[in-house]
Structure 1
């Protein structure tokens, strides 16, 4: 039972790190990436869909994203969705495609992105600590129910803390790399 709890904690903490990696992928760093626009929601015949569901997205140059909708009638909705997002770039219609030229990041915008990255990292740390807290409660419950010695529970709690520390360190390392990437001109 204790091993299952520790494995569950590790799996859930790993999921929090994966979510953080996804959030970081969506942060603009000066280079164009399809991740920047693919999850922006677009009104498509009354239902909200992501851009990647209604169009092909490509990056022909380091500072340009090209969106080619499968249905040209959705182009105005895609343009509106991009303008309303916090991408910091304006879409330009070019026939049946939308081009987004990403301007170089200003120092102020870089600082904003670093703050945003910090918030994402803090959310991941909180999620990891919440998992630790829940598993600690489960371990305490096992101790009260009996069947496990105090030493077993203590060892499990120590192991849980090691797992928590490992994932918190991974979050810190990811944040450090992302900040460096954002601040590099």
Structure 2
């Protein structure tokens, strides 16, 4: 269940909030010598201010490939290349784009909740098998299921909290 929350945190870190962060582009796949490679493996990425990301490749031959990968990404970037460094200006989000990001965030949060519920279902199934196999008593099964439900509720509340924090960050103008 904890892994579902961590996966969601990693996943939503790539959602734009109007501020430039290296997390926006670090997992972007770039065609580097014929193989898709995450940008963070072929360049150093920094955010010198809130409106731009700087990408400095370790191999200058990769400049064009990185620029092409940034342009073709679904994030709508328009990078500029000065021969050594690629600067990616982050335009401010429109209200419509913010709402679209929030919808995407809610979808990802719901997927994480489903993953947590699947873990709970697997746990309940294994408890029932143990009860049928006489490994545990009925009372122990009920107590364990109640404990599992409380753990599930705690993790779902954590997912809601993470989503609410990110939503506030996205909607902040």
Q: Matched residues in 1 for 2:128 and 2:7: separation? A: 29
Residue 181 (structure 1) aligns with:
169
Answer yes or no: is the 8 Å Cα contact 2:2–2:155 preserved in 1: yes
Corresponding position: 1:45 with 2:45? no
Distance 2:38 2:121 in 1: 35
The two structures have a TM-score, normalised by structure 2, of 0.98
C-alpha separation in 1, matches of 2:33 and 2:77? 25
Once the two structures are superposed, residues 98-146 of structure 1 have per-residue CA deviations (whole angstroms, 9 ceiling, x without a partner) of 0001011000110110011111101100100000011111000000000
Count matched residues. Answer: 173
Tell me what 1:3 maps to: none
Alignment partner, residue 100 of structure 1: 88
Root-mean-square deviation over aligned CA pairs: 0.8
The reply on whether 1:169 has 2:133 as its aligned counterpart is no
Residue 43 of structure 1: CA displacement?
1.1
Whole-Å Cα distance in 1 between the matches of residues 123 and 74 of structure 2?
37
Q: Identify unmatched segments of 5+ residues in structure 1.
A: 1-12
| Post-superposition offset of 1:89 | 2.1
* Partner Cα separation in structure 2 for residue 134 and residue 140 of structure 1: 10
- Aligned equivalent of 2:141: 153
- Cα deviations across residues 17-58 of structure 1 (Å, max 9, x unaligned)? 000111111111011000000000011112211110000111
- The SS at the match of 1:86 is coil
SS of equivalent residue, structure 2 residue 25? helix
Runs of 4+ in 1 over 3 A off after TM superposition: none
How do 1:11-160 and structure 2 match up within 5 A? 13-160=1-148
Mapped partners of 2:126, 2:118: distance in 1? 13
TM-score w.r.t. the length of structure 1 is 0.91
Q: Which runs of 5 or more residues in structure 2 are unaligned?
A: none
State the alpha-carbon separation in 1 of the partners of residues 75 and 86 from structure 2: 15
Which structure's residues are more often helix, by fraction? Answer: 1
Cα deviation 1:49-69 (Å, max 9, x = unaligned):
111000011111111100000
Within 2, Cα distance between the matches of 1:45 and 1:21? 31
